[in-house]
Structure 1
Amino acid sequence: METKIGYFASIEQYKPMDALEQSVRAEKIGFDSIWVDDHFHPWYHTDAQSGQAWAWMGATLQATKKVFVSTCITCPILRYNPGVVAQTFATLRQMYPKRVGIVTGWMLTAALRSNRQMYPKRVGIAVGAGEALNEVPVTGKWPSVAERQDMTVEAIEVMRKLWESKAPVSFKGKYYTLEKAFMYTKPDDEVPLYFSGMGPKGAKLAGKYGDHLMTVSADPDTLKKVTIPKFEEGAKEAGKDAKKMERAMLIWYSVDPDFDKAVEGNRFWAGCLVPSMFKYRVSDPPEVQAHADIVGQDLMKKNFMCATDAEGLIKEIERFKKAGITHFCLGNSSPNVNFGIDVFKEIIPHVK
């Protein structure tokens, strides 16, 4: 499977318009995909943002020409109803084909009608069981990990019923109910669904219920020995060919001629390396930042990508490729953000 290089445009680390401009620049450099965080609260407090992902996606799809665009990661179980999630991504996927050149207005309509297969769709979604940071502030709810995983599986069932059904859907599940619900605006084809799997159970669920795996910063040994084997196990149980499914990973990187500055560039995301931030009901960004600020540099170097130049980043990407990752979702925390994008002119030809 060909390696894909994606750009994670964080609207909790950068202002929405700045992240959009980064995405346009990344497409011109040669990135295959653009990913955006679907959060309510950010993973840091100082100088943070909290843009809304779906609004941002529409603007970015309009501003770009061909890149695949997806959330990373949407939690479809608490602050969002899965029916509304299904409606949003059906609309986006129907609206945005992969354009060749500049085609607008009636020309686009005619082109789509005359030869749809020339225009593969550009929109996907990554889903997961969520983080207290995003769900607790607006719902006050935070079920156990096991219950949230069950809710995620049922939410996916709801979404797919609405995307695929040719008749109104009535459904009574443990968590969600549909009563003669019909989605009039449907995607023309299947919306690719990346399932977030971090621990062994989550990775196995990703294989069973997702189209592809999406995991988050982890050391290569864990990926190679636990995450990916469990993903493949789940896929096999569901009768799928895991070799045809992407193994995507969200990971942050920072590049700067000063290596120490490069490492510290990733500090904004260091809270993600503290297990208690996922396990417990922590929803206050200043509290997350307090934990992030005491994470050691050695841990960041092991789980994130830190480099002084293109050659260093190539080596970083290769160590995760060897662990089995096929689609990189790269979050740019470089001190000079544009340099962190432009350096990929040299990197992409080497790693693809």
Structure 2
Amino acid sequence: MTRFGYTLMTEQSGPKALVDYAVAAEGLGFDFAVSSDHVFPWLDAQGHAPYAWSVLGAVAHATERLELMTYVTCPTMRYHPVVVAQKAATMALLSDGRFTLGLGAGENLNEHVVGERWPAVDERHEMLVEAVEIITQLFTGEFLSYQGDHFRVDSARIWDVPGTPVEVGVAVSGRRAVENFAPIADHLIATEPKGNLVQQWDAVRNETALPASRKIGQFPISWDPDPDAAVQRAHEQFRWFGLGWPVNSNLPSTESFTRATSFVKPEDIQASIPCGPDLDAVVQKVAPYWEAGFTDIALVQIGDQRQQQFLDEAAGPLLEKLRAAAPKD
């Protein structure tokens, strides 16, 4: 059965509002909530970037059922893998096992703040492989010393660990990433509905007799009773979305994103993101994800301005429509 999630978009809302939205999402019946983990918003117009882990800790105590996940954390520059393992284990305990650790190779936008050079993509993936190895070994609660090409760990141990290790999802976008991470992660994360990516992931895991994975995607919408206002808000705050990951991961600042998206027109946004009150249009746009084999789909409601109204008026009916249209097994 396809599961539907709500995105805690830290780039567009403050910390207290995010906790309130998570509580509302649980009440509406969303299956899970994912949180971005940024130091910067993508564009200045979004205007926020609270610390995701503090927000998630608060959400864990304010909710009872909602599964939680980072979407995604980069465990290679701004955070050392040992620190990420400690945070994730603590989140799993605070949430009574409702937490999944979503990891990715990161974006220059958020990682440059520690003053290190931004590595090329192949090196970033090598770093992420080592990070996943370190994190998953630390989830055992045993001491770990590790010597890799990119990371060293000296007699580290996570003292407070859940009885069941935290499951790890990794963001992938191509065959090489699938080959690297399908054998060492639990779940696939992707932002495009690529059926071949899902098939490749499953094939690699089947070769090594690993259990079935969740395939977790994300899709933005701009719900608003006024279609013109919906388009304007999506253009103002989410026009970066269409640049693609090779571009998004390398731009270093909100100014860079502003300049890189100066050519994007409102009508370009309308072509890719459903804007306005039509919930059936949202279902039509989300369908390619379950058709590609995704098991979990997190929705992003663009902008803080209509977030509460979306939850109050549209999210419940939208969930009903999505569940009616999605596969049941």
Structure-2 separation of matches of 1:91 and 1:154: 21
Residues 150 and 304 of structure 1: is their aligned pair in 2 closer, same or farther, counting only changes over 3 Å? farther
2:282 aligned to which of 297, 309, 313? 313
Instruction: Identify which range, 302-311 or 73-82, moves more after superposition.
Output: 302-311
Per-residue deviation, 1:11: 1.3
Counterparts of residues 101-180 of structure 1 (less than 5 Å): 121-166=97-142, 168-180=143-155
Structure-1 separation of matches of 2:252 and 2:138: 32
Output one character per residue of 1:274-320: Cα deviation in whole Å (capped at 9) or x when no partner.
1453353x211122123234324455345434342332222222233
Structure 2 partner of 1:13 = 12
Output one character per residue of 1:52-105: Cα deviation in whole Å (capped at 9) or x when no partner.
1111111111111210111111000011000010011111112222xxxxxxxx
Alignment of 1:251 onto 2:222: no
SS of 1:164's equivalent in the other structure is coil
Output one character per residue of 1:92-135: Cα deviation in whole Å (capped at 9) or x when no partner.
112222xxxxxxxxxxxxxxxxxxxxxxx211110000000011
Gaps of 5+ in 2: 324-329
SS of 1:179's equivalent in the other structure is strand
SS of 1:180's equivalent in the other structure is strand
Counterparts of residues 185-204 of structure 1 (less than 5 Å): 185-204=160-179
1:348 aligned to which of 308, 319, 325? 319
Per-residue deviation, 1:146: 0.6
User: Could you tell me which amino acid in structure 1 is paired with residue 99 of structure 2?
Assistant: V
Structure 2 partner of 1:261 = 229
Residues 204 and 302 of structure 1: is their aligned pair in 2 closer, same or farther, counting only changes over 3 Å? farther
Gaps of 5+ in 1: 98-120
Residues 266 and 209 of structure 1: is their aligned pair in 2 closer, same or farther, counting only changes over 3 Å? farther
Output one character per residue of 1:259-278: Cα deviation in whole Å (capped at 9) or x when no partner.
34333333322213214533
Per-residue deviation, 1:199: 3.0
Decide whether the 8 Å contact of 2:77 with 2:114 is kept in 1. no
Structure 2 partner of 1:32 = 31
Structure-2 separation of matches of 1:306 and 1:208: 38
Per-residue deviation, 1:47: 4.4
1:230 aligned to which of 194, 200, 206? 200
Residues 295 and 233 of structure 1: is their aligned pair in 2 closer, same or farther, counting only changes over 3 Å? farther
Residues 260 and 283 of structure 1: is their aligned pair in 2 closer, same or farther, counting only changes over 3 Å? same
SS of 2:82's equivalent in the other structure is helix
Structure 1 partner of 2:69 = 70
Structure 2 partner of 1:115 = none
Structure-1 separation of matches of 2:179 and 2:267: 29
C-alpha RMSD of the superposition: 2.1
Instruction: Identify which range, 76-85 or 329-338, moves more after superposition.
Output: 329-338
Output one character per residue of 1:244-273: Cα deviation in whole Å (capped at 9) or x when no partner.
311111221111233343333333222132
Instruction: Identify which range, 28-37 or 311-320, moves more after superposition.
Output: 311-320
User: Could you tell me which amino acid in structure 2 is paired with residue 91 of structure 1?
Assistant: T
Structure-2 separation of matches of 1:143 and 1:169: 26
Structure 1 partner of 2:43 = 44
Per-residue deviation, 1:138: 2.1
User: Could you tell me which amino acid in structure 1 is paired with residue 201 of structure 2?
Assistant: F
Decide whether the 8 Å contact of 2:3 with 2:295 is kept in 1. yes
Structure 1 partner of 2:326 = none
User: Could you tell me which amino acid in structure 2 is paired with residue 141 of structure 1?
Assistant: R
Structure 1 partner of 2:327 = none
Structure-2 separation of matches of 1:35 and 1:273: 21
1:208 aligned to which of 183, 193, 216? 183
Decide whether the 8 Å contact of 2:57 with 2:94 is kept in 1. no
Structure-2 separation of matches of 1:29 and 1:279: 33
Structure-1 separation of matches of 2:207 and 2:242: 31
User: Could you tell me which amino acid in structure 2 is paired with residue 21 of structure 1?
Assistant: D
Structure-1 separation of matches of 2:234 and 2:177: 25
